[in-house]
Amino acid sequence: MTIFPKCKHRDDQVPALRVDGYVVPCCHMASGAQWVELKKFLGNKVEQLHISKGTLDEINRSEAMYEIEQSFTSDNPLSACTRICSKPFYKATKQGNVSTANYGASIHNLIKSRLDVE
């Protein structure tokens, strides 16, 4: 299956920090069955994703993150990747009332509007 990893190619797709201190490529891997799948996939290497193990840059260059990236081109990518990143970016999907292609701009405008209110 071909995936188009937004975490690698979109400026508005940022890593997620779980409440327990683990950094994951995106929020779609941060909870539930996807988090369990990621921990099983990485085994003991999942500890390399903990914020106490280094800077965000060091975590991004870790062997664990490298294995996640290698899964993008494997025959069996992680389920969160196949579910969220199976369509090219220009085929934006709807999540609620916000198009994923414009989500970053919407958040920026929301923050700007809240800051403008006194």
Is 65 in contact with 45 (CB distance < 8 Å)? no
Choose among 32, 35, 24: nearest CA to 59: 24
Note the pLDDT tens digit of each residue in 8-37: 877 777 889 999 999 999 998 998 999 999
What pLDDT score was predicted for residue 118?
Answer: 43
CA 113 to chain CA centroid, Å, is 26
pTM, entire model: 0.70
- The whole-number average pLDDT for the span 85-97 is 60
Structure token digits, residue 32: 């539930």
Distance CA 75, CA 1 (A): 6
What pLDDT score was predicted for residue 12?
Answer: 72
Please report, to the nearest 10 degrees, the dihedral formed by the alpha carbons of residues 12, 77, 4, 104 taken in order. -20
Note the pLDDT tens digit of each residue in 39-90: 999 999 999 999 999 999 999 999 999 999 999 888 889 999 988 888 876 5
